[in-house]
């Protein structure tokens, strides 16, 4: 039997990572670090949205922030070409 190292972001927590191994457990530290950066960005976006959008619930702000953080590359490109946001995605 072989031993395999797995990585997860502390922001997700071990319990959550074990419940969602396909998206929160990684075989490389680099992938886990990338996930951690997405979560860090999402936290900051959530605070921003909560401050800027009156009446936005914490749950909805968290969901919106996560979508934006996970698709940050698309949003960066859309700043130059807005129609990319709703172009057909492959």
pLDDT digits (tens, 9 = 90+) for 6-25: 898 888 888 888 898 888 88
47, 50, 39: which is closest to 72 by C-alpha?
39
| CATH code linked to domain 33-85 | 1.10.10
Give the tokens for residue 78. 């859309």
Angle between helices 29-52 and 58-70 (to 10 degrees): 130
pTM score: 0.79
Give the tokens for residue 39. 């979560």
Tens digits of per-residue pLDDT, 23-32? 888 888 999 9
Question: Which positions ≥6 away from 68 have C-beta within 8 Å?
Answer: 42, 45, 75
7, 27, 9: which is closest to 69 by C-alpha?
9
**Distance between CA atoms of residues 28 and 31, nearest Å:** 5
- What are the boundaries of each domain within the chain? 33-85
Evaluate if residue 89 carries a pLDDT over 80.
Answer: no
């Amino acid at each position: 039997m072989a031993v395999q190292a797995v990585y997860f972001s502390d922001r997700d927590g071990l319990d959550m990572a074990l419940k969602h191994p396909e998206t929160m457990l990684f075989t490389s530290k680099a992938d886990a670090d990338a996930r951690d950066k997405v979560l860090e960005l999402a936290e900051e976006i959530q605070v921003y949205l909560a401050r800027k959008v009156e009446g936005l619930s914490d749950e909805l702000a968290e969901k919106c922030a996560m979508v934006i953080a996970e698709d940050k590359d698309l949003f960066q490109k859309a700043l130059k070409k807005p129609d990319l946001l709703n172009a057909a995605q492959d």
